[in-house]
């Protein structure tokens, strides 16, 4: 059996929630690479972990990022059709990381 290596990553995080279901399920682990230059490093249409503030509350979510028609805004898009796209101002972003790989455990034993 051949082992596939995970690309160089900065860390991993367990997914909670269903916004990217069925692509990512609650309990899956995503491996990410931090993005340091948010304004110039986004690959539009790709999946990212994003930490952002709304009304004083912090959220961390896995989303596709799309360009917005509104200057200095981005659109956060879920894979799950039951979650509507969300538009946020770039200055609300606290941290951003490119999702490079995911792992699904089918058995915990």
> In which band, very low, low, confident or very high, does the pLDDT at 1 lie, cut at 50, 70 and 90?
very low
Starting from the edge strand earliest in sequence, which strands make up the sheet with 29-35, in order? 11-14, 29-35, 93-103, 47-54, 57-67, 73-77, 86-89
Number of domain units in the chain: 1
Stretch 3-16: mean pLDDT: 84
Answer yes or no: is 109 within a domain: no
Answer yes or no: is 50 within a domain: yes
Residue 65's domain comprises 12-103
Burial bucket for residue 35 (CB in 10 Å: 0-12, 13-18, 19+): buried
pLDDT tens, residue by residue, 87-99:
999 999 999 999 9
CATH of the domain at 31: 2.10.109.10
Answer yes or no: is 4 within a domain: no
Answer yes or no: is 5 within a domain: no
């Amino acid at each position: 059996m051949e082992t596939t290596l995970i690309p160089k990553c900065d860390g991993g995080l367990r997914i909670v929630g269903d916004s990217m279901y069925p692509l990512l399920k609650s309990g899956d682990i995503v491996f990410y690479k931090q993005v340091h230059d948010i304004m110039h490093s986004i690959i539009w249409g790709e999946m990212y972990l994003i930490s952002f503030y709304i009304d004083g509350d912090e959220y961390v979510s896995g989303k596709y990022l799309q360009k917005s028609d509104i200057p200095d805004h981005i659109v956060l898009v879920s894979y799950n059709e039951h979650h509507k796209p969300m538009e946020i101002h770039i200055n609300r972003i606290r941290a951003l990381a490119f999702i490079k790989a995911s792992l699904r455990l089918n058995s915990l034993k």
